[in-house]
Amino acid sequence: MKSPLQLCPKIEFSYEIIGKKWAGLIIHVLMDGPRRFNEVHEMVPNLSKRMLTERMKEFEELGIVIRNVIAERPVKIEYSLTKKGFELGKALSPVQTWAEKWIIPNQKA
C-alpha cells in the first residue's frame, strides 16, 4: 500500500512566506532596487503602514530584506533585497507573465 504524498517542509514554509498578504507585491517592488519605506507604501495600493512594517520585519528576520541606515541628515532608511530575496523575486517573476496574459484589468478574485 502506497503512503500518501507528503509535502516537503521547505516547500510548505516557502508557500507560507509568499502566501502572506502583500508579500509578493513588496518583493516585486524591491526587485528594481533599494526603496525607502514610504516609496514601497506608495507603490502598493491599499497596503497599510502597519502591515508594511510587519512584513518588512518578517522579511528581515528571514534574511529576505536588509534594512540599510544611511547616516545623513536627516537619517535615511532604505530596504533592499538580499541575494536570497532577489532569487525569490526571480522565482516569482513568471507570475507577472501569467498575469499579463490571463488577468483582465480590474478583475476581482
What per-residue confidence (pLDDT) applies to 31?
Answer: 98
The residues with which 77 forms a beta bridge, in sequence order, are 69
**Separation in Å, CA 33 to CA 13, 89, 97, 106, 108:** 25, 12, 20, 27, 29
Query: So what's the pLDDT on residue 2?
Result: 57
Which stretches of the chain are DSSP H helices? 9-19, 23-30, 37-43, 49-62, 83-102
Query: Residue 69 is inside which H or E element, if any?
Result: strand 65-70
Each residue's pLDDT, cut to its tens digit, for the chain (109 residues) gives 555 678 899 999 999 999 999 999 999 999 999 999 999 999 998 999 999 999 999 999 999 999 999 998 889 999 999 999 999 999 999 999 999 999 998 877 7
Within its chain, how far is the Cα of 12 from the centroid?
Answer: 17
